Structure formats: C-alpha cells, structure tokens
Structure 1
Amino acid sequence: MVVCSHPQPAASNELQDFLLARLGLSSNALNLGLRQAELEQAPLPIVLWSFGLLSLEQLQQVLDWENNQG
C-alpha cells in the first residue's frame, strides 16, 4: 500500500490514454488502479507499479512521458 500525506490530483485523461494505447494496459487494470489511487491518495503510476500492473521499465516510460507534458 502506498499512502501519501498530500492529496494527489486525479489521473488526467491523457495519462489514461497513454497507459491504454501506448503501454497496452487493460481497462480493468486501469480501473483497479484508479480506484486504488483514489483510496490511497497515491499517484496512479506508482499504484499500478506496486500492484505489478506496470514493469519498472513501463513505470519509467510513464514518468518520462509525464515530464515531457506541459
């Protein structure tokens, strides 16, 4: 379980699209991650990784993608 002391923003539609389209995450895995991230107030990519739904390499791809947004 990953619990943050500061509320985390909800995952953007763009992040969700990236996870589904570019990384091939299933919609069921994404929905599980979204629910758990809200429950734990933790970043979605970290929750997905902690559940084994993203590999370390995929987590790095997500973090790189997030850093290039904006």
Structure 2
Amino acid sequence: MSPSEQNQKLVRFLQQELNIPAESIALVQRHPELPYSSFPMLLWRYGLITIGQLERIFDWLDHSLCHSANQL
C-alpha cells in the first residue's frame, strides 16, 4: 500500500471512528515537511485528540501495517 493510500485510510479512520473534525485534520496536514508517523503525535500535541484516542490510532496503525505486510 502506498503512503498516500495509507494516509487516506488513516484520515477516514480519524473521521469515522474517532469523530475528529476535518478542520483538526487539515490543521495538522499543513505540515507536509513532517513524516507521516508524526501525524498522530501532532494531533495530540495540539490538543486535538485525547491520549486514549492517540492509543487507538497507534493500535489501528499497528494493525493496518501488519495487515499490509501479510498481504505481500
């Protein structure tokens, strides 16, 4: 899966499962110089998600990456 596809799936997860507003996601996406892996941390650092939501995101990322690797 390409990084762009992974990013789209992450955004969909954030909006659909965690109800993160599109405006919050857009705020963090204004930093394209940062690595993709920093995205969840920036949401938390800016106070846009809770620590519990951050843990759910990391769990989702872990599951998603493992699932992608198993398809290879």
With normalisation by structure 1, the TM-score equals 0.76
2:16 is aligned with 1:27: no
- Give per-residue Cα distances to partners, 1:6-28, cap 9 Å, x unaligned: xxx66610000000110000011
2:37 is aligned with 1:53: no
Bigger RCO of structures 1 and 2 (CA < 8 A, at least 6 apart): 1
Runs of 4+ in structure 1 displaced over 4 angstroms? none
2:11 is aligned with 1:12: no
Larger radius of gyration: 2
2:29 is aligned with 1:67: no
Q: Which has the higher helix share?
A: 2
SS at match of 1:54: coil
Ranges in structure 2 where 5+ consecutive residues have no aligned partner: none
Q: Give identity over the alignment, percent.
A: 27
Q: Distance in 1 between matches of 2:49 and 2:30?
A: 16
SS at match of 2:47: coil
Ranges in structure 1 where 5+ consecutive residues have no aligned partner: 1-8
Aligned-pair Cα RMSD in Å: 1.6
